[in-house]
Structure 1
């Protein structure tokens, strides 16, 4: 059972998400709250996935994201935004968000995204993908140089990968979990885990969403929708 915590300042919106998710097989909403109550809610419900509004009046959703990701055994965090050009998306990406969804996403897509995040995959709403890509590019341009840093051009970074690693990156860009990638490539989950770790290291990121963005930039996923395939 996937345990979900909903964090949003609008009670009616939280109720709508709860109704959709509680009706899905294998998913249970274990709590809902505003930003200020997140520490107590997480401690009391131990969620696997947190749906977190990126903008809230009582506390910045990005600050909440930082707190969540600093916890031992941090849950997956899907950021909710009302705007597909939200400037906060870039900051959330750098802070380790596991995915981005528009608040008006299709219910079936919401369920798919929660399952993907819980399985260790990434979820990017197609209409917000451009903001994520632009935010990643900006973060790369604005980063201070490190002793060893991969080339800034996505094509150069991907060129460092072996053919098998590019296959893994392409499937990672489609939001697949390690187990799903293993099934697609007829490999063991342990082997895929090693490939993913190597891919992330060569790309210079420890974040699967950033890797998915690079896959999109490099044309490995084919289309924007490839970042987050719509459930059938």
Structure 2
């Protein structure tokens, strides 16, 4: 079972997401919390995935994210937002978030996203991705992103495309007929050559460079 904690300041949102995920096969919502209780609940329940509201009045999502990411066994964290353009999203991604989702994401995609996160993949809500890509990570251009992508070998580029589509290392290994160790080496090389620290940043650069279609759903 994939263990999930949902963090949001609105009880209706927490309950709604909880009900959707509880109805999905292989997913268990082990706790819901407000921002003030989030770090304690996450520590107590040790989830695989955290869905975290990016804007909360008591303790905001960025603060919770940073505290959670300090844990040696940190879960995958995706930020929840109601806005397709949220000023905090880029900061959250740089702080270690594994992606972002709109709160009105379709139920079937929500469960799919949780499975992707648990497997080590990234999730990039299509409605938000374009806004983030246009100015991320710097006020660079498509040409600049393409120049970074040009540093990659053909195999590394294939790995990047799969990674950006939400695939985990195990998924990439299976699809490209590589060993898991080889995929891990390729992912490390991709991050180093692109000058980024996380899979999400690499995925956004791939999108910015035009490697992907306009749709950025988890696979």
Global fold match (TM > 0.5): yes
Tell me the TM-score range normalised by the shorter chain: over 0.9
Residue number in structure 2 paired with 1:89: 89
Offset of residue 160 of structure 1 = 0.8
- In 1, distance between residues paired with 2:181 and 2:138? 34
Offset of residue 138 of structure 1 = 3.1
Residue number in structure 1 paired with 2:30: 30
SS at match of 1:137: coil
TM-score under structure 2 length normalisation: 0.95
C-alpha RMSD of matched pairs (Å):
1.6
Residue number in structure 2 paired with 1:111: 111
- In 1, distance between residues paired with 2:151 and 2:138? 22
- In 1, distance between residues paired with 2:4 and 2:22? 10
Residue number in structure 2 paired with 1:156: 147
Offset of residue 39 of structure 1 = 2.1
- In 2, distance between residues paired with 1:5 and 1:157? 36
- In 2, distance between residues paired with 1:105 and 1:192? 30
TM-score under structure 1 length normalisation: 0.90
Cα 1:25/1:224, change in 2 over 3 Å: same
For structure 1, list consecutive stretches of 5 or more residues without a partner in the other structure. Answer: 142-151
Q: Does 1:224 align with 2:214?
A: yes
SS at match of 2:138: helix
Contact between 2:39 and 2:64, CA under 8 Å: does it hold in 1?
A: no
SS at match of 1:169: helix
> How many matched pairs?
218
Offset of residue 38 of structure 1 = 1.4
SS at match of 2:101: strand
**CA deviation map 1:117-161 (0-9, x unaligned):** 1101000000000232134233779xxxxxxxxxx9111111111
